[in-house]
């Protein structure tokens, strides 16, 4: 079943704690289908600070670190994570596919040796803030071709899946198989503004295209009824599976 990742972006420590507590209070029975994504919060408080925020939480985390460095530096990051208290709560880690196949293989092998066997590594392809014009300028290919090329590197590197837009999720599944996971940001309700995202999709389209994880931040956190909005998203997901639209 598609899981919901809630992006806790651009929040203070106090705001993050407040939203986490409110979400868990009202959705305690759904926390197996909800993951919290942290990005700038990690830079603000570090691994130990994250543990102090999430130590009483039942939720798992996506560390949206977007590592893009030489192998040894990224391996050092992974070792630091493995030795931290927050490690057991981290379900997903992101790294750019453009670090190359060998670097991804090294990270995957190190992860398996450390106490991180349940951690999933996702390789970022083309950011959802990029459109065809952007990817042609950066990579010499349109967005779909860029995603496919970078996904091929990720697949050969042995990581668990890729971060891409829901517009490419079906293509990824067709080329690399159902077990190669897709994590798709830029998910919006039909009438939402795109904001800084360019390759966006609705929840329904993402599920139909085979997205294993959907990321939503502002459409949830900026909603007048955050809890009701989360309920709405989960109901849409459950409806598709109950109707047998998805396996």
DSSP assignment of 109-136 equals HHHHHTT-TTPEEEEE-S-TT--HHHHH
183 strand-pairing partners: 163, 213
- Clarify whether 66 is annotated catalytic: yes
H runs (alpha helix) in 27-123: 40-54, 71-82, 101-113
Helices 13-26 and 226-242: crossing angle in degrees, nearest 10, is 50
Contact 165, 186 (CB under 8 A): yes
50 Cβ contact partners less than 8 Å away, ≥ 6 residues apart:
38, 41, 42, 61, 86
- Residue tagged active-site, from 58, 66, 85, 113: 66
Q: How many CA atoms lie within 13 A of 210 on its CB side?
A: 19
H runs (alpha helix) in the chain: 13-26, 40-54, 71-82, 101-113, 132-139, 143-157, 166-176, 203-208, 218-221, 226-242
Of residues 174, 171, 164, 181, the one with CA closest to residue 129: 164
Residues carrying an active site annotation:
66
């Amino acid at each position: 079943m598609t899981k919901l990742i809630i992006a806790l972006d651009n929040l203070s420590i106090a705001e993050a704690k407040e939203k986490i507590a409110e979400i868990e209070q009202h959705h305690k029975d759904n926390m197996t289908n909800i993951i919290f994504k942290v990005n700038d919060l990690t830079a603000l408080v570090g691994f130990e600070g994250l543990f102090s925020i999430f130590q009483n939480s039942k939720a798992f985390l996506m560390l949206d670190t977007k590592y893009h460095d030489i192998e040894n530096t990224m391996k050092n990051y992974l070792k630091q994570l493995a030795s931290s208290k927050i490690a057991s709560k981290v379900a997903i880690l992101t790294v750019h596919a453009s670090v190359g196949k060998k670097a991804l293989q090294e990270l995957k092998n190190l992860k398996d040796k450390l106490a991180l066997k349940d951690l999933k590594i996702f390789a970022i392809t083309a950011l959802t803030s990029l459109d065809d014009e952007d990817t042609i300028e950066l990579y010499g290919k349109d967005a779909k071709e860029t995603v496919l090329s970078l996904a091929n590197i990720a697949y050969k590197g042995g990581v668990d899946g890729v971060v891409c837009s829901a517009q490419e999720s079906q293509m990824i599944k067709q080329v690399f198989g159902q077990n190669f996971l897709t994590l798709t940001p830029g998910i919006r309700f039909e009438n939402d503004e795109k904001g800084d995202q360019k390759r966006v999709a609705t929840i329904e389209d993402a599920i139909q295209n085979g997205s294993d994880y959907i990321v939503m931040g502002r459409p949830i956190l900026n909603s007048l009824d955050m809890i009701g909005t989360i309920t709405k998203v989960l109901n849409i997901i459950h409806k598709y599976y109950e109707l047998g639209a998805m396996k």
